[in-house]
Amino acid sequence: MYYEINVSKDGRHLFATAQRSITSKSDLKKIYPVIKVKFPEEEGYKLMVSEHPEVSKYIDTSELEGTK
């Protein structure tokens, strides 16, 4: 799982944090306030946060072994 913070300025995308930057909710709680101070709404910035859960699934190994 990771969290991404997208920063836009005057409605245009400016940057987003990298996938490896914020990998826990506790990291997000530390980093978000810093970015919010550095990129204030009063100056035309907007922050959006998205959560990206990691999803895994089992693979039918018979397909790998050529038996299916």
How far apart, in whole angstroms, are the C-alpha atoms of residue 22 and residue 51?
Answer: 10
Q: What is the mean pLDDT of the chain?
A: 94
The rounded Cα 50 to chain-centroid distance in angstroms is 5
**What is the total count of domains within the chain?**
1
- Percent pLDDT > 70 in the chain is 97
Torsion of CA 44, 17, 4, 26, to 10 degrees: -110
Residue 46: what pLDDT? 98
First to last CA, the chain: 33
Mean pLDDT of 9-19: 97
Domain of 46, in residue numbers: 2-65
Mean pLDDT of 36-48: 98
